[in-house]
Amino acid sequence: MRIAFAVDRGLEDAVIGALVERGHDLVARFADGDDLPLLLAPLAPDVLVVSADREHLTRAVLAACDDAGVRLVALLDGESSRRLAVSLGVYDVVSVDAPIDDLDDVVVGGSVSARTVARSGGIVAVWGPSGAPGRTTVAITIAHELARSGATVVLVDADTVGSSVAASLGMLDEAPGLAAACRLVGQDALTTDELERVGRDHPVDVGRLAVLTGISRSSRWPELSADRVTRTLELCRTWVDHVVIDAGFSLEDDEGLSSDLFAPRRNAATIAALRAADRVVAVGAADPVGVTRFIRAAADLREVVGDTRVDTVMNRVRSSTIGVGAGHQLVTTLRRFGGIEDPVLVPNDAKTADAAVLEARPMGEVSPRSAAVAEIRRYVRAHLVVASEPNPGGRRATRKEAARPSRRRRVARSAVERSA
């Protein structure tokens, strides 16, 4: 690819050097965006890599790219640069914090840039049996990785026994977002504007991660009736690209009250969330006790969700609790005793998990190269991020499209090294 660069001086050495090493041709390097509009057409590069700041990324630069048919890739460095790119409708954006291979993929229009999150309003429910298998951690990581792909995502805490998403992300939960949304649904007053109001945002470099926090006291469970939770989740489909639910563990359907159709159900929120989901991620602990609990509960889960796809994630895989060849033993045991195929095996990374709790951040922010995060990221990219046709080179999103960045922009994260 023939590439021109207009990037911050502190970044250009590593960026240019890394891409030239990968076989790309350096056409030109510009100190800022002033001269670029006049020279871009005669130089005829395939791609312009530009820093997303007001010195380099301007409307004149975008217009020049459109006129010359040059695809523009913007390098994001923080929230202000993300907002600038969104305001200008730039959809090929790359964070300066991720691997250089991702930048290369975006430049060539390859696997990362040609993948976009489905704008189908998909619902993914993350469930796990009792015994703290790491369900909330997995749910947060999945939501964060989807947002990192450029999607707009809402993480919904539907656990009515021990909600913990707010605490895990350092959010105050005096006014639980999900309960507020359910109250509005009961009044037929819930809209996407109201979801914006009651939701809380966790800052991410690209995409968006909103949170509907869970109830602060388990005694408030009657506020989350099955009908209200279901209607809230259905509206969330129209609000964001992906809905990720942290569901409670109990699948009991209050059999003692089954004769009363109008009595509240203790586990209504969990069951409603699972039944509303397009896909369920079932999380189990990778130790003898956790595997036993998981296999027993998996049968109950299947009764609740019917034909909905269920993906199994075994968390904290380690030989110290399973023995030699832990992964093989888990796969064999799940297949033999539970009829479960192709589980995702997430290696144990207690250090990163502890750091995430300490800093109240997703594991992927604390340690992007964690083996545990990498395994969940592979799952997300393989099953929750879908391939689509790449956008035409150099085209800008409309103002309306720019307001929904994940719908029209090809967003990928990429590390930016430096070169001379």
What does DSSP say about strands 385-387 and 208-212: parallel, antiparallel, or unpaired? unpaired
For residue 330, which amino acid is it? L
Place of tokens 């409670």: 248
Averaged pLDDT, 39-55: 88
The CA angle 95-99-104, to the nearest 5 degrees, is 85
Q: Which residue has the higher pLDDT, 67 or 303?
A: 303
Nearest partner of 51 among 12, 103, 86, judged by Cα: 12
Longest dimension (CA), the chain: 78
Matching CATH topology for 2-114+389-413 and 117-385? Answer: yes
Residue 12's pLDDT is 76
CA-CA distance, 309 to 78, in Å (whole number)? 37
Place of tokens 């041709």: 25
The CA angle 249-253-258, to the nearest 5 degrees, is 165
Question: What residue spans of 172-313 are helical by DSSP H?
Answer: 177-186, 192-198, 226-239, 268-276, 288-305
User: Among 181-185, 219-223, 397-401, where is mean pLDDT lowest?
Assistant: 397-401
CA-CA distance, 304 to 127, in Å (whole number)? 12
Say whether pLDDT at 81 is over 90.
Answer: no
Q: Which residue has the higher pLDDT, 127 or 58?
A: 127
User: Among 24-38, 125-139, 293-307, 362-376, where is mean pLDDT lowest?
Assistant: 24-38
Mean pLDDT of all residues in the chain? Answer: 84
> In terms of pTM, does the model score above 0.75?
no
CA-CA distance, 351 to 402, in Å (whole number)? 38
CA-CA distance, 349 to 141, in Å (whole number)? 13
Query: Is 56:50 a contact under the CB 8 Å cutoff?
Result: yes
Q: Which residue has the higher pLDDT, 87 or 358?
A: 358
Residues 6 or more apart in contact with residue 220 via CB below 8 angstroms: 160, 176, 179
Q: Which residue has the higher pLDDT, 254 or 240?
A: 240
Residue 99's pLDDT is 72
CA-CA distance, 141 to 380, in Å (whole number)? 10
Residue 237's pLDDT is 92
Query: Is 19:64 a contact under the CB 8 Å cutoff?
Result: no
Domain edges within the chain: 2-114+389-413, 117-385
Say whether pLDDT at 326 is over 90.
Answer: yes
**Second-level CATH architecture of 2-114+389-413:** 3-Layer(aba) Sandwich (3.40)
Residue 34's pLDDT is 80
What does DSSP say about strands 71-76 and 385-387: parallel, antiparallel, or unpaired? unpaired
The pLDDT-based confidence of 407 (bands split at 50, 70, 90) is very low
CA-CA distance, 340 to 333, in Å (whole number)? 9
Dihedrals φ, ψ of 12, to 5°? -65, -35
Token pair for residue 171?
Answer: 């959010």
Q: Name the DSSP class of 251.
A: -
Q: How far is CA 242 from CA 78, 135, 211, 276, 323, in A?
A: 23, 18, 12, 13, 37
Query: Is 129:416 a contact under the CB 8 Å cutoff?
Result: no
Percentage of the chain exceeding pLDDT 90: 55
Helix (H, G, I), strand (E, B) or coil at 351: helix
Tell me how many helices (H) and strands (E) the chain has: 19, 16
Averaged pLDDT, 383-409: 42
Paired with 152 in beta bridges are 208
Task: Rounding to the nearest 10 degrees, give the CA dihedral for residues 234, 237, 238, 240.
Answer: 150
CA-CA distance, 360 to 170, in Å (whole number)? 5
Query: Is 151:406 a contact under the CB 8 Å cutoff?
Result: yes
Say whether pLDDT at 345 is over 90.
Answer: yes
Query: Is 372:387 a contact under the CB 8 Å cutoff?
Result: no
Task: Rounding to the nearest 10 degrees, give the CA dihedral for residues 399, 385, 278, 246.
Answer: -90
Query: Is 169:204 a contact under the CB 8 Å cutoff?
Result: no
The pLDDT-based confidence of 420 (bands split at 50, 70, 90) is very low
Residues 6 or more apart in contact with residue 244 via CB below 8 angstroms: 124, 126, 139, 142, 143, 146, 153, 154, 155, 156
Element (H, E) at 297: helix 288-305
The CA angle 411-416-420, to the nearest 5 degrees, is 135
Residue 392's pLDDT is 34
The CATH number of domain 117-385, selected from 3.40.640.10, 3.40.50.300, 3.30.70.3270, 3.40.50.10860: 3.40.50.300
CA-CA distance, 340 to 317, in Å (whole number)? 17
